[in-house]
Amino acid sequence: MKVIQNIGIAIFLIGLGVFTTLPFIGDFKLDQSSFDELIDSQGIKSEIFVSDLKSKLVNKNFSGFQPLAPLVEESIDKANTEHTKNKEWGKKVYAGSDDLATTIRKKSGYGYVPQNKGLMWFLTFGLGIIGALMFILPQVVTLGKKGIKNDHIYHQSSTNKGWIAWLVFIFLVSFYLVLYFKSEYAVNWTYLVDPISESLSGNPAGHWFVYGFMYCVVMTVMAVRMYIKYRHNMYQMVRTTSVLFFQIVFAFLIPEIMVRLQLSYSKGYDFKNAFPLDYDFFFNWNLKELIAGGGLGLFILVWGIVLTVVIVPVMVYFFGKRWYCSWVCGCGGLAETLGDPYRQHSSKSLFSWKVERWLIHGVLLFALVMTGFTLYGFFAETGTVLGIKVQSIMNTYSFLIGAIFAGVIGTGFYPIFGNRVWCRFGCPLAAYLGFVQRFKSRFRITTNGGQCISCGNCSTYCEQGIDVRAYAQKGENIVRSSCVGCGVCSAVCPRGVLKLENGPEEGRINPTEVLLGNDVDLMELVNKR
């Protein structure tokens, strides 16, 4: 078994190695006709830009890591300065240099990778999957009898913030930085999944398709790990299946298929992604597209609003925030699969709890204010509200919250700060759900009378940094806005103290001092005070 697992690791690392090398290699050469096509498709009217860029790019060889974006940037600057001077507003180039560079690369790649997509897919994704499964599947045997298997989590470099964890951290952070800010380097990756993208939506893959596909693959493989690790725990099995289903079908397949069907509303839409997590839902351009998108567009508009205003709170009332955060949501889905080995790193200190409340509610406020501005701007048909450019608020949010917080920090920091950094400190939807859960819900984690032995397993493995034990050892139910109902505290408790359940609201919050099992008169005296 050990041998199989070690071979698995080796194969996985080869796959990962090839994948990681791809941004550094490859040849790119743009010919005249592709160049024209590109200029055409981007609707660029500036001759200055066209001729400048043409002299730099067309029929010239670029390889690997040589950046294109600065060249494009230069041309844009040059053209725009000139056009501004001449007041030729219609000719200014508004496209971003990174996006253009990415599109150029995608059009101009030649050589081994784009010509051997299938093989390269196998050498990256294929080997990664095979290797990972060879490591994971033998755990059916190596983990022994079913039950909680947390042995050596704090002895292993990978799960105890050792060097492996730091490498994973660097890898994840770099990956997100490329994805969000330097997507031209992701072009080689897009070739690998072109065939898949074409078969789904009919279009070649962009870097977000790579991300979406990879997300599903990673979640699926790590879900297998969850199934094995928690095979004694039906709650974990069902929940993992649910979250995987929603990721693959709702976040990945349906949007692609919507594009393929060329519906009136031509973009893909993730029907489960609720505002304000889906922070650009009320952005000017999105509203315009939805309204222009005929029946389907309108349906999505109404659905999006009903989802946030009605479905989300009603479901939280009946089932707690968990129905979304650990059963449906994609961010939660990754956290519960890829992130599971890191759940113990969330800080349980009171200080972190304070930081959490300031941050997450701050983000919610930010999202709401921003949305207020965009909506006002939309209806008043203005780009400036209260003297502030709406666009600049939207850009700040997208950059700080959408990219840095949710992506780079949210996932990149898994191995160091735990798997729910975004969900705990940042997600505005989680903040909203949390209010409902805390103040108007049937959900609670019931503490089983006086059975707690204060061992600390529950707190240690709470991914949301809740000090579960602090409640359990007082015999108190846990009713906390941040609880995503992953059920792991209940799973790891060696004394059967914790149960996630939806029951009557009355008595849900039950502050106690003297626990069940002691003198009933004393309990009465102290607890009723």
Binding site for ligand SF4 (CB under 6 A): 452-458, 468-469, 472-473, 493, 495, 497-498
Q: Report how far residue 51's alpha carbon sits from residue 34's, in angstroms, rounded to the nearest whole number.
A: 14
Alpha-carbon gap, residue 463 to 348, rounded angstroms:
9
Q: Is 182 in the site for another protein (CB under 8 A)?
A: no
Count the alpha carbons within 13 Å of 118 in the hemisphere toward its beta carbon: 0
Q: Using CB under 8 A, count the residues that bind another protein.
A: 62
Choose the one of ligand SF4, another protein, none that binds residue 294, judging by a C-beta under 5 to 8 angstroms depending on kind: none
Q: Which of 145, 259, 361, 429 binds another protein (CB under 8 A)?
A: 145
- Residue 308 near another protein by CB under 8 A: no
Region near another protein per CB under 8 A, out of 192-200, 377-385, 406-414, 506-514? 506-514
> Could you tell me which residues are beta bridge partners of residue 447?
498
Q: At its nearest, how many Å lie between another protein and the CB of residue 210?
A: 35
CB contact at 8 A, 8 and 131: yes
Q: Which amino acid is residue 305, in one-letter code?
A: I
**403 close to 312: Cβ distance less than 8 angstroms:** no
Residue 313: left (phi > 0), alpha (psi -120 to 50), or beta? alpha
Mind spelling out the 3-state secondary structure of 332-370? HHHHHHCCHHHHHHCCCCHHHHHHHHHHHHHHHHHHHHH
Residue 61 interacts with, from ligand SF4, another protein, none (CB under 5-8 Å by kind): none
**Which DSSP string do the residues of 232-293 spell out, in sequence order?**
T-HHHHHHHHHHHHIIIIIIIIHHHHHHHTT-SS-S---TT--TTTSTTTTSHHHHHHHHHT
Site membership for another protein, residue 517 (CB under 8 A): yes
Among 32, 81, 115, 146, contact with another protein (rule: CB under 8 A): 146
- Relative to beta strand 27-29, strand 61-63 is antiparallel
- Least Å distance, CB 416 to ligand SF4, is 24
- For another protein, the binding residue among 170, 350, 365, 369 (CB under 8 A) is 350
* Binding-site partner at residue 504 among ligand SF4, another protein, none, CB < 5 to 8 Å by type: another protein
518 scored as a contact of another protein (CB under 8 A) = yes
Please name which of 374, 421, 376 lies closest in space to residue 393, comparing C-alpha atoms.
374
Tell me the helix, strand and coil percentages in the chain, rounded to 5. Answer: 65, 5, 30
Is residue 151 part of the contact set for another protein (CB under 8 A)? yes
Closer CB to another protein, 107 or 499, in the complex:
499
Burial of 466 (0-12, 13-18, 19+ CB in 10 A): buried
CB atoms within 10 A of CB 198: 13
Token output for 246: 């929603």
x/- contact string, 152-171, with another protein (CB under 8 A)? Answer: xxxxx---------------
Residue 487 CB, nearest approach to ligand SF4 (Å): 13
> Which amino acid, one-letter code, is at 495?
R
Which range in 142-150, 243-251, 304-312, 420-428 contacts another protein by CB under 8 A? 142-150
- List the one residue from 262, 494, 509, 511 that touches another protein (CB under 8 A): 494
Rounded least distance, CB 470 to ligand SF4, Å: 9
- From the list ligand SF4, another protein, none, pick the one residue 449 interacts with, judged by a Cβ distance below 5 to 8 Å according to partner type: another protein
Smallest distance, ligand SF4 to C-beta of residue 335, A: 21
520 binds another protein (CB under 8 A): yes
| 354 binding another protein? (CB under 8 A) | no
What backbone phi and psi angles, to 5 degrees, belong to 48? Answer: -60, -50
63-82 residues in contact with another protein (CB under 8 A) are none
Q: Give the binding site for another protein (CB under 8 A).
A: 144-148, 150-156, 232-235, 237-238, 349-350, 446, 448-451, 453-457, 459-460, 469-470, 473, 487, 490-492, 494-496, 499-501, 503-504, 506-507, 510, 513-522, 525-526
